[in-house]
Structure 1
Amino acid sequence: MRWEKAVADGLGAGVSHAFGIFDKTLCGIQEAGMSPSDYWWRPEREDACGACWEAASLIDSRWPRSMRSEAAQVSVARRL
């Protein structure tokens, strides 16, 4: 997985969401001012959003295998 943790004032505590793009999480929650954190979102953590995990799995399965390792992780959002 190559996703950063989403950060926003309006996100509820206790659930970790993956940052998608355009102020949205992978599961579709939209908050003004949302941004990727400096930390990776980890789907194996107990507090990880299940819907974000499903979306991340689907998206990542479409990437070439060489781009799926942790060594290949690059912030797409920070390049925009």
Structure 2
Amino acid sequence: MLAELRQKAQVTIPREIIVKLGLSEGDKLDIFEKDGSICIMPVVVYPKKYLSELKEEIGDVKAKIASGEQPVFDSVDALFDKLEAE
């Protein structure tokens, strides 16, 4: 597919790609150069507060795993077996 560089360095992404990737107006895109190619990658941006809370929660779970308080499963089937037994 060809696209044309327009005024103010704007490029229209073909509709087929927009639909295939499930993109919509307002989505964030990371644009970078790699080996002479222009790459465009959809990204999700989270607020710093959310990331801090998530990091703390992950730390809590890791501590519980290390202490044996949090069960660890080798497979999803093992997790479901445990849940069904309760």
| CA radius of gyration, larger in | 2
Which category of TM-score, normalised to the shorter sequence, fits these structures? Answer: under 0.3
Report the TM-score when normalising by structure 2: 0.24
> Which structure shows the higher helix fraction?
2
Q: Which has the higher contact order (CA 8 A, sep 6+)?
A: 1
